[in-house]
Amino acid sequence: MRQRLTVEAYTAGILSGDRIILSRAITLIESRLKNDRILAKKVLKNILPVTGKSLRIGITGVPGVGKSTFIEAFGKHITGLQKRIAVLTVDPSSKKSGGSILADKTRMENLAHDPLAYIRPSAAGLSLGGVAKNTRETILLCEAAGYEVIIIETVGVGQSETLVRGMSDFFLLLMLAGAGDELQGIKKGIMEMADVVAINKADGVNKSFAEQAVGAYRNALHLFPKPESGMDTQVLACSALDGNGISALWELILQYQEATLQNGYFDKNRQNQNLEWMHDHIRQTLEEQFYENTALKKALKTTEKSVTEGRELPVAAAERLLESFFKTRI
């Protein structure tokens, strides 16, 4: 096992923009070892004063929308403006083996070789919602390393949208023209969270269909309540393949950032996200301590058998276990 660096070495390396030390620091905060957790907290405390200065963009999309191709084209546009960008991609993990493919970096080969870009794939593990458990800490590390734009890509459609929306300043929803009625059930909830809906693959024979979809989505969004940000959700067509609409999308994001900074929503949103992060950590810590409690492990196995055999109600069993857990904490 590679020897851990000192807190000072991690801090100095991150602040100097050393990509190797940044990667090692992210691995450190993802570790479940007790000593690593203690070290990670000290590193995060050291770099905290220089965090929070990036623009955090959450990106999600329906299956087949071409998120990786889009992010590469979008990222190359941003680095072309001489801005440093970090892309945090989350790969699904096997619940049985815990393994993940971690293939996003290979799908963004051009961006991965850009000196102004940093791509970090992480496994979702058993975290709910398709985002890695330590994504928020990773954002802070990347900000401290000097990355001006942070992109957080979700695994897919579902609970992940709510979680990623809760750690980003701007939320982008990628859609396809003519994706089918099977998506109608999820569109409303996701679209209410989106700051921009981008119809991707607006090229070739799909171009006219994409333009029609833009009109349809704009009409649909008129039925939604005005977002808390005070900004109307925008819709546009784009193509990651030929680059059309990428520049316009970036300009929309900058306009959104400027407007929300002026009306106070940007800072208020960050403050609310920090509070939610605190409460999330409380919930996660309590859950971890419950399942790691050695005194409860035997009782848990017995209770699971009782529940599966129908001899005890799940709720009653849970309450009994929780009561035992809190007694061990006194």
Using the predicted structure, report yes or no on whether residue 234 has a pLDDT greater than 90: yes
Report pLDDT for 92. Answer: 52
Q: Where does CATH 1.20.5.170 sit in the chain? A: 1-50
**Percent of the chain surpassing pLDDT 90:** 62
Are 193 and 186 in contact by the 8 Å Cβ rule? The answer is no
DSSP category for residue 87: E
How many other C-beta atoms can be found within 10 angstroms of the C-beta atom of residue 291?
Answer: 11
Report the predicted TM-score, pTM, of the whole model to 2 decimal places: 0.88
The CATH superfamily assigned to 52-263 is P-loop containing nucleotide triphosphate hydrolases (3.40.50.300)
Are 159 and 128 in contact by the 8 Å Cβ rule? The answer is yes
Model confidence at 141, pLDDT cuts 50, 70, 90, reads very high
Report pLDDT for 188. Answer: 63
Rounded to whole angstroms, what are the CA distances from 179 to 64, 92, 203? 9, 23, 15
Phi, psi of 171 (to 5 degrees): -120, 120
Using the predicted structure, report yes or no on whether residue 157 has a pLDDT greater than 70: no
Burial of 299 (0-12, 13-18, 19+ CB in 10 A): middle
Pick among 3.30.565.10, 2.40.40.20, 3.30.70.890, 1.20.5.170: CATH of 1-50:
1.20.5.170
Q: b/e map of 31-41 (b: 16 or more CB within 10 Å)? A: eeeeeeeebbe
Cα Rg of the chain (Å, integer) = 22
Check residues 266 and 62 and name the one with the higher pLDDT. 266
Chain CA centroid to CA 231, Å: 22
Rounded to whole angstroms, what are the CA distances from 113 to 77, 106, 315? 14, 10, 52
Mean pLDDT is lowest, of 60-64, 65-69, 201-205, 323-327, for 60-64
Using the predicted structure, report yes or no on whether residue 100 has a pLDDT greater than 50: no
Mean pLDDT is lowest, of 90-99, 114-123, 264-273, for 90-99
Mean pLDDT of 27-44: 93
Check residues 326 and 129 and name the one with the higher pLDDT. 326
Using the predicted structure, report yes or no on whether residue 109 has a pLDDT greater than 90: no
Report pLDDT for 186. Answer: 46
**Percent of the chain surpassing pLDDT 70:** 86
Q: Where does CATH 3.40.50.300 sit in the chain? A: 52-263
Using the predicted structure, report yes or no on whether residue 98 has a pLDDT greater than 70: no
Residue-averaged pLDDT of the chain: 87
